[in-house]
Structures are given as structure tokens and as C-alpha cells.
Amino acid sequence: MFYRDERLALFIDGSNLYAAAKALGFDIDYKLLRTEFMRRGKLLRAFYYTALLESEEYSPIRPLVDWLNYNGFTMVTKPAKEYTDSMGRRKVKGNMDIELCVDAMELAPHVDHIVLFSGDGDFRPLIESLQRQGVRVSVVSTIRSNPPMISDDLRRQADNFIELYELKDVVGRPPRPEDEEASNMVPEMAETE
């Protein structure tokens, strides 16, 4: 539940939200997402967290990062780490959990409601702390994918769970073919539990 006069902040775990939307068969239209939450309350900030591959001249996620940066989102990025797993596959890892937690704790005294776009169970203690400070927390993820993209502990801790699939008609768009190649370059998301 949202109240029109409450101060809102969005915290988007980029790789986690991307994976959840992809599992549901759509892409996020970030302009529509921002507009939807501006409609729900007084949106103070919309943070987007992602790791970037800096070793390549062109990163498929770079156009999205640039667009978000110019369209009202506060971008928080860091270099992703590349490695080869035991099967010889190239992997990319870029965990932004600590950055997201620090920013949420710093902003907590200035907001009434935080919307976290992630299903990562590592965020449960963050939600608990924000609630102790009087901040309501909604979590956006999905239980409709197989397996579900949200940790049960996270869902139980949140004041409100918003099923991403139910936002599809409001903030979704069909996936674009070029997004398929980008999906191979999105930093690996953390486990949900």
C-alpha cells in the first residue's frame, strides 16, 4: 500500500531485476517504472545498482546505464570482475549489495517508504533495520518464475510484497532481440537465499 504524501525512494538491484523480468518474459521500461512510482507517492530518488565490464570497448549494458543516468536515476556502478569457472566458462561477477545497503541506511531518515527491487535474501537484515527506523519497505520480485526469484525470508520481512508480473502491463515491454546478447554480459546476480 502506498500513500500519496509519503516520500519514496527506489533501490534497484539491476542484475536481480533484469533476471526476474527475463524469467517472466518481458523487459522493464524504466521511464514507465519511474512514472508509476511518481504516481504512487513523492519520489525523492531512484537508485540503480550494477557492475560494469570495463575490459571491453563496448558493454551491452552501457546504453541503459547512460539512459538511466540522463533520465532521473542515480547510477551506482563499479567494475565487474571476470573469471573462468571450473568448467572453463567465462563468468562475470559484480555484487552491489553493500553499496545499496549503505545508501539505503543513509537515506532512511529522509523517506517514509523504500521500494527494493530485488529478491536477494541477503537484504533481509537491511529491511529489518529500516523498519526499526520507521521506514516502510516494499519488495518487488517474483514468485511466478520457476524457481521463485525471491527469498522467502525477504518476502516475509517486507511490509509489502509486489509481484513483478502484476506490474508487467504498467512497466513492461516485450524483450528486444539485441537484449539476448546483453543477457550474457549482465553480472551474475546473488542467490535469493
Rounded CA separation 51/115 (Å): 20
Beta strand 81-84 with 113-117 is: unpaired
pLDDT tens digits for 150-168? 999 999 999 999 999 999 9
177: pLDDT strictly greater than 70: no
15: pLDDT strictly greater than 50: yes
Task: Kindly state the average pLDDT of the residues 107-135.
Answer: 98
| 79 band by pLDDT with thresholds 50, 70 and 90 | confident
pTM attached to this predicted model: 0.86
2: pLDDT strictly greater than 70: yes
Percent of the chain clearing pLDDT 90 (strictly above): 72
| 92 band by pLDDT with thresholds 50, 70 and 90 | confident
Beta strand 27-28 with 172-173 is: antiparallel
